[in-house]
Amino acid sequence: MGLSGWVFEQTVRYCLGRELDAAGHHCEIRGQVPLKGRARVDLLAGRAAIELKARGSFGAGDAKYSAYRKAAEERGWAYLYLTMQEGYAPYRLATASTFGGDHAFFLDEPGDWSRFVDTVRSLQA
């Protein structure tokens, strides 16, 4: 049995908040923030709009994220992707292409949590 999306979201929100506070970069972290139409950003931490997936990508159906990235950028946000894992190489490459290699984070990749926190911290005004 895996971690549910809601539990993953709450865990990331809590841990990210703690990491930012410890680094002296406190910012409000909000959940389920409207993005475009009915689309929502899982977390918004300052200028970091974060899409979370507990179990990785779901393949070609995730093409909508290109439009979401554009909508986020039009609002002055950087669109980030964080997942616990992505074992299927073509999905991993597609995700990195959609979000940008510097905005896609895979927690099964050593160092990606730190890289994620550093990126969010760098986006704080």
Q: Looking at the domain assignment, is residue 61 inside a domain?
A: yes
Q: Looking at the domain assignment, is residue 35 inside a domain?
A: no
pLDDT the model gives residue 1: 45
pLDDT tens across 37-78, in order?
Answer: 999 999 999 999 999 999 887 666 567 899 999 999 999 999
Q: Looking at the domain assignment, is residue 33 inside a domain?
A: no
Q: Looking at the domain assignment, is residue 32 inside a domain?
A: no
Total domain count, the chain? 1
**Which pTM value belongs to this model?**
0.92
Q: Looking at the domain assignment, is residue 110 inside a domain?
A: yes
From the list 79, 103, 84, the residue with the least C-alpha distance to 4 is 84
Q: Looking at the domain assignment, is residue 87 inside a domain?
A: yes
Q: Looking at the domain assignment, is residue 16 inside a domain?
A: yes
In a 10 Å sphere around its CB, with 0-12 CB exposed, 13-18 middle and 19+ buried, how is residue 59 labelled?
A: exposed
pLDDT tens across 80-107, in order?
Answer: 999 999 888 888 898 998 999 899 999 9
97 is in which domain, residue-wise? 5-27+42-122
Q: Looking at the domain assignment, is residue 37 inside a domain?
A: no
Please give the full DSSP string across 68-95, using - where no structure is assigned. HHHHHHHTT-EEEEEES----HHHHHHH
